[in-house]
A and B are shown apart, each in its own frame.
Chain A
Amino acid sequence: MRRTPTALLWGVTLALLGGLTPVSASAQVGSVTGRIRDAATLQPIASAQVQIMDTEQGGLSNANGQFLINNVPAGPHQLQVVVLGYGTQTVEITVTAGQVTEVNFDLESEAISLEELVITATGEQRARQVTNKVTQLSGADIASSTPVTDLSDLLVGKAAGVQIIGSSGTVGTGSRIRIRGSSSISLSNEPVIVVDGIRIESNPQSLSIGVGGQDVSRLGDLNPEEIESIEVVRGPSAATLYGTDAANGVIRITTKKGQLGSADFSVYAETGIIQDRNDWYANYDSDCWLVDIADGSCSQTDLSSWNPLKESISTPFKTGHRQQYGVNVTGGNERLNYFVSGEWEAEDGVLGLPKFDRDDLRTEFGDAFSDLPESMFNPNRLERVSLRANFGGQLVESLNFNTRVGFVTSTLQLPNNDNNVLGLLPSALLGTADGTDDGDYGYGFFLPSEVNWQDVTQDVDRFTGSAHFDWEPLDFLRGRATVGLDQVTRTDIENLPREQLFFGATRPLGTRTVNTARISNFTVDANVTANFQLTPTITSRTTVGTQYFISNFTRADAFGADVVAGCSSLTCTGAEFAVDEQTTESRTLGLFIDQEFALNDRLFLNAAVRMDDNSAFGNDFDAIVYPKLGASWVVSEEDFFPELPYTSSLRLRAAWGASGAQPGPTDALRFYNSTAVTVDGEDVVGVTIGELGNPDLEPEQSSEIEAGFDLSLLEDRVGFNLTYYDKTTTDLLIQQPLPPSGGVGNDRFVNLGEVSNTGWELGLDMRLLESPEYIWDLGLQFATNDNELVDLGNLPNGDPIPDIKNGVQWFVEGYPLGGYWDYPYTYEDANGDGLISIDEVIVADEEDYLGSSIPTRDFSAFTSVTLYNTVRLNALMEYRGGHRLNNLTESFRCGFGICQGLHDPNASLDQQARAVASTFGSPSTDTGHIEDASFWKLRELGATFFVPEAWIARLGASRAALTLTARNLLTITDYTGSDPEVNQFGNANFNIRDFLTQPPVRTFVVRVNLSF
């Protein structure tokens, strides 16, 4: 067993913190101070990068837009201010020894800034140098305009081609992220997440105890309040230097660093309510089904319906609450800066206990009612504390450092739902139309007061720390090194007291499960860049680098049953003990060289190559090489470029590059798994074949070409960008189903086939109105994705590999991955009686393609209006379309004989036909329930009131803002289920269906920000 070098990292960190001795100041120095504001709103701009160009002294402006740079050598200098979304300004200053020089900046907003800094794998570059479309988001800006709860809130609708696909409204569950579609059939399609230069754990399915389908994403551990900026590196052409695993793109997150000036305290408080406002199906029953009326075998005299989720006596929904309180302090100078923050947050979901159940429990337990476990009344709750301490500065001349340390501890309580007979929503949605006490108010399998005894929690302690060194020993040579560790300790616990849930043989005895996992990601990243002035017009930038990455996962599980009453510990269990242990480790070593030539600082040509080796590659496969080429041309600065009206700048860009995705740690190996068996009445250990293995296994390889332009118009008030991409993934790592007749496992990873993703991405950012009183900004994002399985490969004899069928989601050449397939049907009310009989539904003999399971078109509009520099209103609308969703909830309800289409003569013919097709069809088909899932959603509506300084001066505060935000206010869709975004399978790769899932909820939040 290898140990990740935690001690080493701590040692480095402590050494750095202990070694923060200020560099001795020269007597011939002065200071530079000032403040930075938005020229239109006159609001201060925080986190602007202020830098003395020749000495590279500088830092970030504070929340009041102020900065202070000490120890600046006396004499003339250039002072530059760079900030995302604004034009860069550079001014000449002269610093006088022992004096303070004041320089103020009012920056004009720019829809497209070619000078803003982009953090790339080879260090910071100006946007004009980058040959790909990279989206930069300011976490500080977004968080200040609207309360955000997780990373998804920061990303949704903000970057064309980036889909944030949620699965439920369960508190604490995460989202899938898809950038430019899905490339892999069997491997993860999630992007790599890099925080402060190190890779972090971002598994969207980080839960070891099944609660029916929902998952926890480790991205949810990131605190948006700590995020300075996010860069979305979309595809292989941009992510080549990130190496194996970056084929799905990279999301690079930078946490806040210290700002220049005296200590600046900020506090914030947030509270809100969470409600379920979804439409839910009612349960139906009758004494004569519609198909029986239609064929004349009976007539209906009694029709009843009951909706246990909506009726006041039986609804399990309550109003959930959200609270968040945080404080941070930032300050420093060019020698040492700091950002320290702490936050506590808690959020309760909408599930609780119905009134009838609560009353019954009160009667049953009497005084002990209040001692019932939290899960009984509040089965979905998240509580989290986030701490961060970031330090940076200058160790010695030309050697800068940053140490960034974050710690998160959280407890998440999860309800049981989805594909789960022990779930609350399943019991209601598959219940009955009997709303009486005798009929359990319509609940089927179990009452909420029974399922809520299942107490499932996840405790997480997470440390993410990195140390970054930036060394410029010579004026042309710059080296960077980052070392860091992201370590998650996760404990999943299920506690079920004895004699409370009577299902199966074990649960009535009471059970206890404790699964403890440790997930470690260790990164070492180092590179050196040399700049050359080859000719007066041509410059060269060469970078060589290396990266070493270890991903380690260990988990130990323990289970026991027959729990002593009143005890909730494994110690108190007496039977059916089970233990398990898992260990996986993967290591990647990469080298790269990147070469850029610049002509007149307008035309940039880039070529790079990365070579990777990985512990998971097959024995018969060696290292892999990923190449990259790109060009960026600010053509509008060329002499020949005509003076076009309204045009400020035009940049053309194109890039081609490759990246990969690695197999799992043991996919190449042939091995057995141990198994406990009973032979001749004795329990012994045996082995059973685990995987057949494949010694030739190599990574999936994705290559991509993208081309586009960035156009700035109307004095930079309008920015328009358009990008086309064509991504091809070859040597797909497919879990090819093995012929079951081999009896050696379900499948085997092989490199086969090809997937293509093509699409357009369009972004339009506009300042529609700008006056001293009003500012109106509008941002539009539109993206398409055409996903196709081009080739599935061949069997050894040359025959094509058969389609891969996963229920109604298939993988078929010529169609999108995981598209929906089922038997089509037609229907006709031939006799015009308003009823669909079994004979009036004709089901085809063969399945047909019904549609993509992933949205193929995305559109979002974000707008904000600022009034009198005092009030800002904002809204985010999003459309997704071109896809379907399998409404298995309603199909299954028909199978249970409780759907409206089987009973209610007022049901539409469509409803009746699909109920008949799924229930009585021969073959039965869910085609009618695989519905168009296109939707428009008003994701967010908010208002912020910037309190006038005069009002808050008495408090000693320098800034204050009050924000009201509502989320998920409106959904427009033809989808007939509860919500077109739900997924029973949580964040699974391709399995997508609506099945008894808690849909997204509506939230209203009020937040106060104060700075001192």
Chain B
Amino acid sequence: MRTLLRRGSYLALSGALLCGAIACDTSDLLEVEDPDIVLPGNLTGPTGLATLRAGAIGDFAFAYAGNGGGTEGVVLMSGMFTDEYFHSGTFTTRREFDRREVKEDNGTATGVFRNLQRARQSLETAAATIQEAGGDERVGELLALAAVTYNLFGETYCSGVPFSNLDDAGNLVPGIPKTTAEVFQEAVSSADAALAGAAGDETIRNLASIQKGRALLNLGQYAEAAAAVASVPTDFNFQMTYSIDNGQENGIYAFNATFERWSLANLEGGNGLAYRDLNDPRVPWDRDPADDMGFDEVTPQYNMNKYPGRDAPADVATGTEARLIEAEAALNTGDVPTMLARINQVRALFGLGDVVDPGTPAGREDLLFNERALTLFATGHRLGDLRRLIRQYGRIEDDVFPIGTYHKAFPDYGNDVNFPVPFAEENNENFTGCLDRGA
């Protein structure tokens, strides 16, 4: 027994030495640093707030136009879904958009939705943080851009989009699905908050005013919409800017002209507008070389030159949109001369001659919506307009969306009139699917 005790004491001593050597202060042994990340506490003070604002605007620019060939923005996808672009690439997930039959687990769709929500979240978070620090005109700017995201959600997605947020502790609070009308109401609220926070900055006020008018138009409140945009000058243009140097390129250009995966459409699916045939200066295009084929080697490649380069700025909100909102308000009150005047005011900006009254209500609607399609090309408006033709003007889907035989050897066009909320949203306990897939 004595031997055992002696040996046990040796072992205990050895063990104690081993343990003691490391047990004195293990926190030092386990301390690591990661210099690559920015903790929330670092984003305070003037520099931190400026960085936060820049990041939020960068998130919006990315969600809106995508980047230099890797990720698509909402403008590209809604353009592909409608009659603006043909799919001249090979990705099956993008083809689903072109065919208007988008699966809920479509990876591209998930990315586009997530990036747009990220932009909204970043803009609202940055606005709130700057407001807490005293507030300035940047609050209005950020909230006005947030209003753009709400308008894009309302125009692009099915009814039932939730908007989740973070609480003070940084926990995610799942959002409640909102109807399409409720989403546009969010846009109005955000635009109103932007106007209140614009602090006299005319650019921000114009941006916010257009978003308010756009949302009200979507809600069918034409007169209110016209009133909202009345003060916006026709030559106003709020753009996202892009750069080759830092890699934040204009994806609308890159996917079309650089990588040739998007091709300017013409009369797509029968109902599409003749963007090429019209040779309208608002939608400049070329095909170079003359037999150029898209990335899929099957689809003729046409490049849209409205954004003529990788670092070309992309239109977000313009005074022309304000005039066209007023034109639509006039249309809805039967004031045809005002409608024509506003349209011609826009056309004049592009050196185009006046249009005349088509003479019928349907003709006037066609005229207005065609003018909107050409003027607001590649700005993410077209899908909302096609849906409004159904929702507010009584058209039927088969009369406004591309239909029939798909332009490549695949099944016919599907029946979607909006994007689904991605399957991944079912991780939100409040969400069980779109409330309504109709227009």
Residues of A within 8 A of B (CB): 1-2, 289, 421, 444, 474, 476-477, 479, 504-505, 526-528, 530, 532, 534, 542, 544-546, 548, 575-578, 581-589, 591, 593, 613-615, 665-666, 669-690, 692-693, 736-744, 746, 795-797, 799, 801-802, 805, 807, 838, 892, 895-897, 919-924
How far is A180 from B69 in the complex, measured between Cα atoms in Å?
41
In chain B, residues 230-277, which have Cβ atoms closer than 8 Å to a Cβ of chain A? 241-248, 254, 258-259
CB of A236 to closest CB in B, whole Å: 23
CB of B431 to closest CB in A, whole Å: 7
How far is A681 from B32 in the complex, measured between Cα atoms in Å?
38
Q: Check A587 against B122 for contact (C-beta < 8 Å).
A: no
Q: Check B174 against A739 for contact (C-beta < 8 Å).
A: yes
Q: Check B258 against A505 for contact (C-beta < 8 Å).
A: yes
Q: Check B26 against A613 for contact (C-beta < 8 Å).
A: yes
Q: Check B254 against A505 for contact (C-beta < 8 Å).
A: yes
Q: Which of A548, A582, A924 contacts B92 (CB 8 A)?
A: A924
In chain B, residues 99-121, which have Cβ atoms closer than 8 Å to a Cβ of chain A? 101, 103, 105, 107, 110, 113-114, 116-121
B369 interfacial contact with A, CB 8 Å: no
Q: Check A587 against B15 for contact (C-beta < 8 Å).
A: no
**B246: which A residues are within 8 A, CB to CB?**
676-678, 683
CB of A213 to closest CB in B, whole Å: 16
Q: Check A740/B110 contact, CB under 8 A, given A672-B40, A676-B248, A895-B92.
A: yes
Q: Check A741/B118 contact, CB under 8 A, given A676-B248, A679-B241.
A: no
The 4 lowest CB-CB distance pairs between A and B, nearest first, are A677-B58, A686-B55, A743-B121, A686-B54
**A666: which B residues are within 8 A, CB to CB?**
34, 37
In chain B, residues 45-61, which have Cβ atoms closer than 8 Å to a Cβ of chain A? 50-59, 61
CB of A992 to closest CB in B, whole Å: 17
**A544: which B residues are within 8 A, CB to CB?**
11, 14-15, 18-19
Residues of B within 8 A of A (CB): 4, 7-8, 10-11, 14-15, 18-19, 21-22, 26, 29-40, 43, 50-59, 61, 68-69, 90, 92, 101, 103, 105, 107, 110, 113-114, 116-122, 161-166, 170, 172, 174-175, 241-248, 254, 258-259, 295-298, 310, 313, 409-411, 414, 421-429, 431
**B38: which A residues are within 8 A, CB to CB?**
671-674, 687, 690
**A739: which B residues are within 8 A, CB to CB?**
162, 164, 172, 174-175, 424-425, 427-428, 431
CB of B325 to closest CB in A, whole Å: 26
**A687: which B residues are within 8 A, CB to CB?**
38, 43, 51-52, 54-55
Q: Check B55 against A528 for contact (C-beta < 8 Å).
A: no
Q: Check A678/B258 contact, CB under 8 A, given A689-B122, A741-B162, A746-B114.
A: no
Q: Check A686 against B57 for contact (C-beta < 8 Å).
A: yes
Q: Check A677 against B248 for contact (C-beta < 8 Å).
A: yes
Provide 5 A-B residue pairs closer than 8 Å at the C-beta atoms, listed in order of the A residue.
Answer: A589-B29, A679-B58, A684-B54, A896-B296, A924-B92
Q: Which of A2, A588, A740, A797 contacts B424 (CB 8 A)?
A: A740
Q: Check B117 against A743 for contact (C-beta < 8 Å).
A: yes
How far is A714 from B43 in the complex, measured between Cα atoms in Å?
75
**B58: which A residues are within 8 A, CB to CB?**
675-679, 686, 688
How far is A680 from B409 in the complex, measured between Cα atoms in Å?
44
Q: Check A741/B164 contact, CB under 8 A, given A670-B40, A677-B58.
A: yes
**A688: which B residues are within 8 A, CB to CB?**
55, 58-59, 118, 122
Instruction: Give the nearest-CB partner of B21 in chain A.
Output: A546
Task: Add 9 more A-B contacts to A530-B8, A676-B248 (CB < 8 A).
Answer: A444-B297, A476-B10, A546-B19, A676-B247, A679-B58, A685-B54, A686-B52, A686-B54, A740-B113
**B11: which A residues are within 8 A, CB to CB?**
477, 528, 530, 542, 544
How far is A687 from B414 in the complex, measured between Cα atoms in Å?
39
Q: Check A583 against B36 for contact (C-beta < 8 Å).
A: yes
CB of B327 to closest CB in A, whole Å: 30
CB of A698 to closest CB in B, whole Å: 15
Instruction: Give the nearest-CB partner of A682 in chain B.
Output: B241
Q: Check A737/B59 contact, CB under 8 A, given A505-B310, A532-B7, A613-B30.
A: no
Instruction: Give the nearest-CB partner of A421 in chain B.
Output: B295
Q: Check A741 against B243 for contact (C-beta < 8 Å).
A: no
CB of A849 to closest CB in B, whole Å: 15
Q: Check B170 against A670 for contact (C-beta < 8 Å).
A: yes
How far is A288 from B69 in the complex, measured between Cα atoms in Å?
35
How far is A479 from B21 in the complex, measured between Cα atoms in Å?
15
**A746: which B residues are within 8 A, CB to CB?**
114
**B170: which A residues are within 8 A, CB to CB?**
670, 692-693
**B90: which A residues are within 8 A, CB to CB?**
892, 895-896
Instruction: Give the nearest-CB partner of A292 in chain B.
Output: B409
How far is A799 from B174 in the complex, measured between Cα atoms in Å?
14
Q: Check B18 against A528 for contact (C-beta < 8 Å).
A: yes
Q: Check B55 against A677 for contact (C-beta < 8 Å).
A: yes
Instruction: Give the nearest-CB partner of A474 in chain B.
Output: B10
Q: Check B37 against A591 for contact (C-beta < 8 Å).
A: no
How far is A613 from B26 in the complex, measured between Cα atoms in Å?
9
Q: Which of B30, B54, B426 contacts A615 (CB 8 A)?
A: B30
Q: Check B241 against A685 for contact (C-beta < 8 Å).
A: no
**B54: which A residues are within 8 A, CB to CB?**
677, 679, 684-687
Q: Check A589 against B121 for contact (C-beta < 8 Å).
A: no
Instruction: Find the residue from A577, A582, A686, A690 having the highest chain B CB count within 10 A.
Output: A686
Q: Check A795/B30 contact, CB under 8 A, given A526-B18, A576-B245, A746-B114.
A: no
Q: Check B103 against A923 for contact (C-beta < 8 Å).
A: yes
Instruction: Find the residue from B18, B32, B110 having the highest chain A CB count within 10 A.
Output: B32
**A548: which B residues are within 8 A, CB to CB?**
22, 29
**A689: which B residues are within 8 A, CB to CB?**
118, 121-122
Instruction: Give the nearest-CB partner of A616 in chain B.
Output: B32
Q: Check A587 against B120 for contact (C-beta < 8 Å).
A: no
**A578: which B residues are within 8 A, CB to CB?**
247
**B119: which A residues are within 8 A, CB to CB?**
743
Q: Which of B19, B105, B244 contacts A576 (CB 8 A)?
A: B244
Instruction: Give the nearest-CB partner of B411 in chain A.
Output: A922
Q: Which of B31, B51, B243 contacts A685 (CB 8 A)?
A: B51
**A505: which B residues are within 8 A, CB to CB?**
68, 254, 258, 310
**B427: which A residues are within 8 A, CB to CB?**
736-739, 795, 801-802
CB of B180 to closest CB in A, whole Å: 15
Instruction: Give the nearest-CB partner of A578 in chain B.
Output: B247
CB of A531 to closest CB in B, whole Å: 8
CB of B419 to closest CB in A, whole Å: 12
Instruction: Find the residue from B34, B39, B68, B110 having the highest chain A CB count within 10 A.
Output: B34
CB of A449 to closest CB in B, whole Å: 19
Q: Check B22 against A591 for contact (C-beta < 8 Å).
A: yes
Q: Check B254 against A683 for contact (C-beta < 8 Å).
A: no
Q: Which of B21, B101, B117 contacts A742 (CB 8 A)?
A: B117
Q: Check A477 against B7 for contact (C-beta < 8 Å).
A: yes
How far is A421 from B255 in the complex, measured between Cα atoms in Å?
15
Q: Check B248 against A742 for contact (C-beta < 8 Å).
A: no
**B35: which A residues are within 8 A, CB to CB?**
1, 581, 583
Q: Check A742/B121 contact, CB under 8 A, given A504-B258, A530-B10, A544-B11.
A: yes
Instruction: Give the nearest-CB partner of A693 in chain B.
Output: B170
**B174: which A residues are within 8 A, CB to CB?**
739, 741-742
Q: Check A741 against B425 for contact (C-beta < 8 Å).
A: yes
How far is A405 from B33 in the complex, measured between Cα atoms in Å?
30
Q: Which of B21, B117, B172, B258 contacts A692 (CB 8 A)?
A: B172
How far is A881 from B52 in the complex, measured between Cα atoms in Å?
53
How far is A686 from B37 in the complex, measured between Cα atoms in Å?
12
Q: Check A741/B117 contact, CB under 8 A, given A532-B7, A669-B37, A683-B245.
A: yes
**A589: which B residues are within 8 A, CB to CB?**
22, 26, 29-30
Instruction: Give the nearest-CB partner of A545 in chain B.
Output: B18
**B92: which A residues are within 8 A, CB to CB?**
895, 924
How far is A683 from B426 in the complex, measured between Cα atoms in Å?
37
How far is A801 from B295 in the complex, measured between Cα atoms in Å?
39
How far is A802 from B427 in the complex, measured between Cα atoms in Å?
6
**A444: which B residues are within 8 A, CB to CB?**
297
Instruction: Give the nearest-CB partner of A801 in chain B.
Output: B427
Q: Check A585 against B34 for contact (C-beta < 8 Å).
A: yes
